[in-house]
Structure 1
Amino acid sequence: MNYTNASTMKPSDSIPSTAGIFTGGTPAVTGMYYDDAYNRAWFAPANTNCTGAPGSVIDLKQGIDFNPGAADGGGGVDPAKVPRQLVNGVCTPVMPYNMIRVNTVFEVIKAAHGRTAYSEKRPSYGFLNGPSGTGIDDLYTPEIAFNNILNSLSLTEAFDDDRVQSVLNEIDGKDHTGLLNVGVPTIFGMNFQAINAAKKDSLRGGYADDIGTPNSALNDALTHTDASIGRFVNELRAQGLSDTTAVIITAKHGETALDPSERFIVTTSAIQNVLTPAGFPPSTIAKLTEKSTALIWLKDQSQTQAVVSVLTTKANETSLRIAQILSGESLKLLFPDPLTDPAPPDIILIPFAGTNYEPSLNPALPAVQAEHGGFNENDLHVPLLVAHPSIPYGQSRAPVTTTQIAPTILNLLGLDANQLQAVQLEGTRVLPGIPTQGGVDNGHLGSH
């Protein structure tokens, strides 16, 4: 089934989007907002006694590895580099799996005595283990920042190839290394990075024209990724598993701009440059995160409306290409109240489509050519295909979201999707057109 009207999370950053795929929940319940965020209740990594006023930046990139310059991140996430919180009076590191607030499909499947495996792009994705910290039996997370992999399409494809081999090993009943015989996992898979690299690191963001024709780099990445998926399918067939394995293909996010002539750069200093003369220097900002949208956490939340008033002057709306501001009541339509929940930003600045926040106005390479993380169509619209002999072949135009993948996975395995906490909290349905098990509600099938 090809779901042609699928959307990912708001914001469309890799972290909240991945959390949504495997929990069935939006950031409102997962608590995961960005790979570069802030939490008002946690303490800075260096504050080993958890004293004074709380508040800590969250880094879910290579900065928290033991060794960001090593292929394996030096062995994973360094507890000395993550925020801290008081647990029963003890100042304790907040590991990535402590950050996610709801359980994952991996935990549910493991509790049902299924083996779990997955590969992601860096050690911080250990949050997929879920709050238990043990949801994935075989988690393979090499560090993509090693050797500047993402700056080279060929290196990124090699990075993907290494993890493709890990999945092939698992299809063959081994662990990701291929050294141990452990049996085929109940759930396994990986993310691909090549397409993202091609769009970020080739002129015009991966497109040869203004109607979405891939340029040579993006075409190469698409062909390479397609061939890799073909290797999975062939190996499943060779092992006699194709009739009992569902294959799900999707993306964490899109990229903007889709039309290269509609790409507009706003510098990452621009927002702060209008706030400072209005009385809000950097010292008043707890965290400002910018890619294709901007998230602002304030040190003094009572200043929220005053900061919004500065941003929404006609001159600033024009220079910063602001289409919409979420704060106060409008922000609470999507997320918990930042006055009572320590994770959400105080202000979300949504620019017009095609806007990228970059360090320089110079668009020439090696400048990043496309971004994601925002709220607009090009960021949000993603592919979503589900294939299994029990699923009718066709196309559904029904609006769906990637959060529906999690309950769909459990449903296909004959497990109760309501074991997912996010499904209970947000009423996430199984994708339409998927045969249901045990009274799980998947609504109705959309147009074909």
Structure 2
Amino acid sequence: MRMFRCAVGAALAATGLMGSPAGAASYRHVLLISIDGLHQADLKRFIDANGRSVLAQLAGRGKIYENAQTTRPSDSFPGMLAMVTGGTPSATGIYYDASWDRALSPAGSDCTKIGASADFDEEIDVDAEALDAGGGIDEAKLPRDPKAGCKPVWPHAYLRSNTVFDVVTAAGLTGAWLDKHPAYDILKGRSGTGLADFYAPEIAAGAQDHDVRKAEANDDLRVAALVREINGLDHAGIRKIAVPAVFGMNFQAVSVGQKYAGYIDAAFTPSPDLAEGLAHTDRSLGVVVSALKAAGLYDGTLLILASKHGNSPVDPKLVRKIDGKSLTKAVDEAVKGGLAHATLDDVGLLWLTDGAQSKTIADALMARKDELGIGHIYQGPELKRLWGADPAADSRVPDLFVETQPGVIYTKPTNAKIAEHGGFSADDTHVAILVSGARITPGTVRDPIEIRQVAPTILRALGMDPNRLDAVRAQHTKALPGLDLAK
């Protein structure tokens, strides 16, 4: 019997489904927090001006990565998934939270029609105006898979790569996450079992995503839930769970402040509302740190503070709003009925009804580039070179990636927002990453890194093999440098 147990243990160790040998893990827990919208310049400015802040204290026991880049497109979904899978959109299969899939069928259909929106945001809530989303995701609003009996496709089933939550769960540990939409069900992983606890008060309810103080109240709900998890309870404080090995949440107040209040100048000087969002987030981090200390978990927890995306433009003088209908109309004028779907923010992702028309449509749009606010259109070989993506081979890849001119946002001119994300500019992609822990030598890392390197770092910190992540193996993603984690 003893020999049998040893053989099983050796087999599990070989698969990476259990941690490294006892004592090899650098930390028992990893707490991942995304401060959405936070640029590296925001982090530096805040710490320099607030030397006694929580962020400054965390930086005093951690590494700041000065040249961190998020995904392109810089949307919340690909950015978040990069941090927990180690992969770019070509590995995860997720280019945006609202997209198109040429292989799926519309929600509520009988699957006779092929090609459908794959929108995984508040649009799939039972009721997006309710804080609890009316009970969560409405199955009737999900796209359907004609190759799987026309069954609805849940967000977690749409993901192509496993997550750190899958890995720790397979090792008998606990994963948990708190976010802004029920659609973050996607983090449960393809198995649907990666999270022992999940909570997502709907940020769109009551326009909380339009007002800094309302966003702060929404953030407060997640902070309270996180404190309960630190104390060994679920987010509601009802059910006992093991303190998660990997857990965390996102903050929205900074991103909302950037979108609707913005900066005073191009030097990242925050407006009063944005400054309030930054200060509130710092105070909230203090609540979390105090809870970790009270529970005796602080020194055994690696804190990774990052951002899924920035927001663009920072310079208020650059803001230029263009009605997205101008772009979609231009596509139709180039090739009648040529557009299957468009996702527009400060980027344009275009899925065409006939991919063979890509160059024709791109040329027509570029001929009107100043009118339409276009800087460049990526297509054909560029997609393979930059994204490893081919719309002819992958049903999810947009045919055209429209990079906007600086400051351009595709939205109605009457829309109050003055910044957005999703695009390719530095304001969108140059994000903050701060990794703080008891055994980290404080300092800065100036080497260029990518946000997807967070995922293998999480597993390394726990003494687990990063190669258990599909995207890490496929894309050879390395852990963040300079942390001296267990090998």
Q: Which letter does structure 2 place at the counterpart of 1:114? A: L
Q: Aligned partners of 2:266 and 2:362: how far apart in 1?
A: 34
**2:460 aligns with one of 379, 394, 411:** 411
Q: Which letter does structure 2 place at the counterpart of 1:297? A: W
State the Cα distance separating 1:183 from its structure 2 match: 2.8
State the Cα distance separating 1:272 from its structure 2 match: 2.4
Q: Aligned partners of 1:188 and 1:231: how far apart in 2?
A: 16
Distance 1:78 1:56, change over 3 A: same
TM-score (norm 1): 0.92
TM-score (norm 2): 0.85
Secondary structure (helix, strand or coil) at the match of 1:211 reads coil
Matched, 1:55 2:115: yes
Q: Quote the residue 1:170 is aligned against.
A: 229
Matched, 1:357 2:410: yes
Q: Quote the residue 2:140 is aligned against.
A: 80
1:171-197 CA-partner distances (Å, limit 9, x unpaired): 111111112232311111100010111
Alignment check: 8 A CA contact 2:175 2:246 kept: yes
State the Cα distance separating 1:4 from its structure 2 match: 0.9
Alignment check: 8 A CA contact 2:212 2:274 kept: no
Q: Aligned partners of 1:276 and 1:115: how far apart in 2?
A: 50
State the Cα distance separating 1:166 from its structure 2 match: 0.3
**Where do 1:239-250 residues align within 5 Å?**
239-250=295-306
**2:391 aligns with one of 338, 346, 349:** 338
Larger RCO, structure (CA 8 Å, separation 6 or more) = 2
Q: Aligned partners of 1:367 and 1:241: how far apart in 2?
A: 43
Q: Quote the residue 2:44 is aligned against.
A: none
**2:483 aligns with one of 424, 429, 434:** 434
Unaligned runs of 5+ in 1: 439-448
Identity %: 39
Matched, 1:321 2:379: no
Secondary structure (helix, strand or coil) at the match of 2:293 reads helix
State the Cα distance separating 1:278 from its structure 2 match: 3.0
1:220-259 CA-partner distances (Å, limit 9, x unpaired): 0000000111111111111111110000101110011111
1:341-373 CA-partner distances (Å, limit 9, x unpaired): 00010001101222211112x5xxx61111110
Q: Quote the residue 2:287 is aligned against.
A: 231
Q: Quote the residue 2:178 is aligned against.
A: 119
Q: Aligned partners of 2:204 and 2:333: how far apart in 1?
A: 36
Alignment check: 8 A CA contact 2:130 2:202 kept: yes
Q: Which letter does structure 2 place at the counterpart of 1:50? A: C
Q: Which letter does structure 1 place at the counterpart of 2:314? A: L
Secondary structure (helix, strand or coil) at the match of 2:416 reads coil
Secondary structure (helix, strand or coil) at the match of 2:137 reads coil
**2:241 aligns with one of 177, 182, 188:** 182
Q: Aligned partners of 1:359 and 1:58: how far apart in 2?
A: 23
The more displaced of 225-234 and 261-270 is: 261-270
Matched, 1:397 2:446: yes
1:147-183 CA-partner distances (Å, limit 9, x unpaired): 1111222111110001100001111111111122323
CA RMSD of aligned residues (A): 1.3
Distance 1:300 1:172, change over 3 A: same
Q: Which letter does structure 2 place at the counterpart of 1:336? A: A
Q: Aligned partners of 1:145 and 1:297: how far apart in 2?
A: 26
**1:153 aligns with one of 212, 218, 221:** 212
Alignment check: 8 A CA contact 2:233 2:242 kept: yes
Q: Aligned partners of 1:407 and 1:12: how far apart in 2?
A: 20
Q: Aligned partners of 1:115 and 1:392: how far apart in 2?
A: 28
**1:301 aligns with one of 348, 352, 355:** 355
Matched, 1:39 2:93: no
**2:340 aligns with one of 274, 286, 290:** 286
Q: Aligned partners of 2:405 and 2:188: how far apart in 1?
A: 36
1:79-125 CA-partner distances (Å, limit 9, x unpaired): 2111111345x111110011110000001011111111110101000
**1:139 aligns with one of 159, 178, 198:** 198
- Residue correspondences, number: 424
Alignment check: 8 A CA contact 1:335 1:344 kept: no
Q: Aligned partners of 2:333 and 2:247: how far apart in 1?
A: 52
Q: Aligned partners of 1:307 and 1:402: how far apart in 2?
A: 33
Q: Aligned partners of 1:87 and 1:17: how far apart in 2?
A: 29
Q: Quote the residue 1:258 is aligned against.
A: 314
Secondary structure (helix, strand or coil) at the match of 1:177 reads coil
Q: Aligned partners of 2:241 and 2:383: how far apart in 1?
A: 47
Alignment check: 8 A CA contact 2:307 2:432 kept: yes
